[in-house]
Every structure is written in structure tokens, then in C-alpha cells.
Amino acid sequence: MMARVKAPRSVFVDFPLGRQCGKPNEPELQTQILKDALHVLVTATTPGEMVDLPYEWHEPFDWACYLRDTEQMLNEEGSEKQEWNPKG
């Protein structure tokens, strides 16, 4: 998605959605991610440049995990999964 949008400068953190600035209650990691992003702000020279940051999530995750986690979240919170119907 980022490659299509081509923000002037961007960094990619390979964490699941909802943790782009780091893990909860890990201020050192959060700070480092921000410093890395701000560093790119002042050092990037190519429009659309994307820098991959080296941080790794503690376990593998994939699309199935995203579906499972969001469903678990809704169940925990007692929210109904929204059923969308494409218009005919």
C-alpha cells in the first residue's frame, strides 16, 4: 500500500496493524522507532523513499492472524461483526 501511495518519505515497521509506533508499554522501542522515522525526514534524498526498519515482531503473523485477532477482539468486546452486503 505504501509503495502505491508514495508519501515523500516513509519508514516501514513490520509489526501487525495497530502497533506501527511500537509495542505497548515499551517506551524505548517506541522512542527508537520515532527517532528512526525523524532521521529519515532529515536524511532522505529521493521522493517516495521507503526505509525498512529492522524491528521484528516476537512471533510470526500473517493475514490469517489479522482475521483471527480482529475477530477475537470483537468477541472480547462484545461487538457484533459487521456484515456488509455489496449493493446489487
Partner 1 sequence: MSRIEYVACLDQQYQSQGFPPYKWSEFDSSPWTPFDKPLEKSSIALISSAGIFRDDQEPFDPWAINDLSFREIPVDTPFERLKLRHNYFDHRDALRDLNCVFPVHRLKELEKSGFIGRLVPKAITFGMGRLYKRTALQNETVPRIVELLKQQGADAALLVAA
**Residue 51 or 69 having the CB closest to partner 1:** 69
**Residues 16, 61 contacting (CB under 8 angstroms):** yes
Residues in the interface with partner 1 (CB under 8 A) total 46
In the chain, the DSSP E strands lie at 9-12, 49-52
Segment 15-44, which members bind partner 1 (CB under 8 A)? 16-25, 27, 30-31, 34-35, 37-38, 41-42
**Residues 4, 33 contacting (CB under 8 angstroms):** no
Residue 32 CB-half CA count within 13 A: 10
Q: Site residues (CB under 8 A) for partner 1?
A: 1-2, 4-8, 14, 16-25, 27, 30-31, 34-35, 37-38, 41-42, 47-48, 56-57, 60-63, 66, 69-70, 72-74, 76, 79, 82, 84, 86
